[in-house]
Structure formats: C-alpha cells, structure tokens
Structure 1
Amino acid sequence: MLPLLLASSSVYRRQLLDRLRLPFTCSSPDIDEAHSPDESATELVRRLSLQKAQALASSHPQHLIIGSDQVAVLDAKILGKPHTFDNARQQLLDASGASVSFLTGLTLLNSQTGKYQTDCVPFTVHMRPLTTQQIERYLHAEQPYDCAGSFKAEGLGVSLFERTEGDDATSLVGLPLISLVTMLINEGISIP
C-alpha cells in the first residue's frame, strides 16, 4: 500500500480519518483558495480538493494524497469561515429557520501514477429558528470561527439543528468517509 497523506491541517479531518484505522501523515498545502468568477460552489470545492492534493504531489511522489474542501451555501451564497464573533453571529442569524447546504469536495490522488478520483458530497442542515441570545450563547460556548456555517456539528452546534439530510454525515465535518472508502478500495486498499 502506498503511504496515505492527508492534505490538510484540520484537526476535524484528522479525527475523521483516524476512524478508518489506517496509518497516515498530514501536510498542509499552500494554495490560493479564491473563488473564480462564474464558478459554482460544486466546481469550487472539486477544484480546490484536487489542487490541495496536487500541491503536495511533487514532495510526496509515491503517496495516496487526500484533498478536501468544503463550503456552506445559503440562498445561493457561499458562506466562508466567519473568523470573528460578529461574522459568525450574522451567519447564524441569516441561517435561522433556513436550510444550509454543505458541499464537500474530495479527491484521492495517486501521486505515483497521476491518476485521481474526485467527488462532491452534499449534506443539508435545516436550522431551528434561533434567537440572538441563543446564537450568542452558542458562540461564546464553542467559538466556531474556523468552521464554515459558524457551527461545529460534532459538538454543541448540533443543538442548532432541526434536522439533517444527506447520505454521509461525516461530510458535514469536512471529510466524507463513505466516498473516501470507495476511492481507497478502488486503489486496492482493504478496509476494514
């Protein structure tokens, strides 16, 4: 088996990949994550997941490299990571009582052959109607400023949900394991 490399510095993605009980290392790719004009959210996450994997291919020439990227979409608008309390509060106020779609791009690149598999896995969160006080209490408790959509689904953020909809709940956290397992099997890796 070629060594497995996660092209990410995300603690959340690392924790998810740990579930597969495969040895792997991590390295953070340095790419421009800007949204191109006229590029759909799906095209964006597919492109960025591939670019993240490709950015590490020359320094890891005999690896299976996992690239992933995620955006949240509300009313056809891409939500970035909020980075600040005020931005997060506004994102959650806008999402209150609405549905937020999370699109996660996933690429598995065999840097030895140059062949890759790419997917985009959607997942929808239907938010509860939220008061400003609920939002502020949540933000003070969890500080999800590095998370698209301004919440951590793997933590207290689940209390903001009315329901969820999708084929792979791990995609909501940023690494769709069901799709990744299929890709790894296609590369000849036995799981479990």
Structure 2
Amino acid sequence: MQNTLIPRPLILGSTSRYRRELLERLRLPFEVCAPNVDESALPQEAPADLAQRLALAKANAIAQQHPKAIIIGSDQVADLNGTALGKPGTHERAVEQLQAMSGQTVIFHTALAVVCAESGFTAVDTTVVRTRFRTLSAAEIESYLQAEQPYDCAGSAKSEGLGISLLAAIESDDPTALIGLPLIRTCEMLRQAGLDPLLHGKTGVTQ
C-alpha cells in the first residue's frame, strides 16, 4: 500500500537521465532541478576531490532555492592514472578516451551529497568503482561508439548497456555507482536525513 506521508520533498539536483532513472528505482516521489554549477576542475585537483566538490556544490546550489527539501547532488569523474576523464561530447574525443583506456584500469569516482538546508543536514561520500578495460581494437571501438553513442558519459562507456563488452572486470561495493548514482549509499543517506524509501515510497500494492 502506498505511503503518502513524505516528511520533506525530495529533489534530484541533476539533469542526468541516468541518475533520474536510477533514483526512480527507490519509488520515492521527487522533482528534478538543474544546478547552475561550474564543473571546471581546479588547478592540480585530484579526480576524487573534483567529484566530491561538485556533488556538494550541486546539492548546495539547489538547497539555497529549496531550503525545506532534501537535495541529492552527485558527480562522477573517471580517473585514468590520475588524469580526470570527463564526458567526451564528441565522437572523436570518445575514440581518444577509449584508446587511452584500452587495457588499463580506470577508477570511477561517483560522489554523492545529500543536503537539507532547513534541518542543517549534510552528508557527503564517494563510491569507488575499479574497472579493467579489455585491450580494444580500433574496429571494436568504432563499432561500439556507433551503436551506443555514449558521448554524455564520463569515460565514453555505458556499463549498463553494450559498454559492458568493453570490460574485463568490475570491482565495487555498489554496481549502480558506475551508472551514475550509488543507490546503496543514497538509501543510507536518505534514511539519515529522515526519508526512508521503504517507509515513504510506493512499496507494495495500492488497494
């Protein structure tokens, strides 16, 4: 039976369709707001630090506009030997990224921030996913990019789709982190903020 007693509104501070689809799994009503945040890296900023700083900045930006709501901010940065790999944006850049990652271990830092300005709640954490890419031929890279066109994904690969064929191994405590939002940690933070997916979401059958 649906529980409609929602302590506070929930807002996802992201326009990513991947994060929106992941958050929908929790069956909580939520809105989506686009945070106006400069995502440029600071000089000498490590990939993990960049992801965490941006996740918190996105959550805080929305929290200023909606102080009563619980805000989720998230950011993902792919780390190849200490170099941050962002969204390629173009086919050419995606080819370059996949060529560089071929046969390499790439670390995906998926940072999560949950903020409520009115209650003073703030929680920030980063989930790490280690991925080992197969040695990829030029034909495989081209075929994959033509098929999936992952130009809006950090690291140019969608692990939830055909991109899984690019990988030899994945190590993580939370497989959803690689897609863009670590749901295990998200549930934990939401409970800490007073919003439990099992108590406040659409769980069970509505009579």
Determine if the TM-score, normalized by the shorter chain, exceeds 0.5: yes
Deviations 1:120-150 (A, max 9, x none): 1100111111100000000000000110000
Q: Does 1:155 align with 2:146?
A: no
2:197 is paired with a residue whose SS is: coil
Q: How many equivalent pairs are there?
A: 192
1:57 is paired with a residue whose SS is: helix
Deviations 1:125-184 (A, max 9, x none): 111111000000000000001100001111110111111001011110111111111101
**Residue in structure 1 matching 2:115, options 102, 109, 112:** 109
1:92 maps to which residue? 98
2:71 is paired with a residue whose SS is: strand
CA RMSD of aligned residues (A): 0.9
Give unpaired runs (5+ residues) of structure 1: none
% of aligned pairs identical?
A: 48
Q: Does 1:25 align with 2:25?
A: no
Task: Give, in angstroms, the shift of residue 69 of structure 1.
Answer: 0.4
Task: Give, in angstroms, the shift of residue 17 of structure 1.
Answer: 0.2
**Residue in structure 1 matching 2:18, options 12, 35, 43:** 12
2:142 maps to which residue? 136
Give 1:43-192 correspondences, 5 Å limit. 43-192=49-198
Letter in 2 for 1:78: A
Task: Give, in angstroms, the shift of residue 48 of structure 1.
Answer: 0.5
Give unpaired runs (5+ residues) of structure 2: 1-6, 199-207
Relative to the length of structure 1, the TM-score reads: 0.97
Kindly indicate whether the alpha-carbon contact (under 8 Å) linking 2:174 and 2:183 is maintained by their aligned counterparts in 1: yes
2:53 is paired with a residue whose SS is: helix
1:94 is paired with a residue whose SS is: helix
RCO comparison, higher one (Cα < 8 Å, 6+): 2
Deviates more, 1:129-138 or 1:51-60: 51-60
Q: Which 4+ stretches in 1 moved above 2 angstroms?
A: 188-191
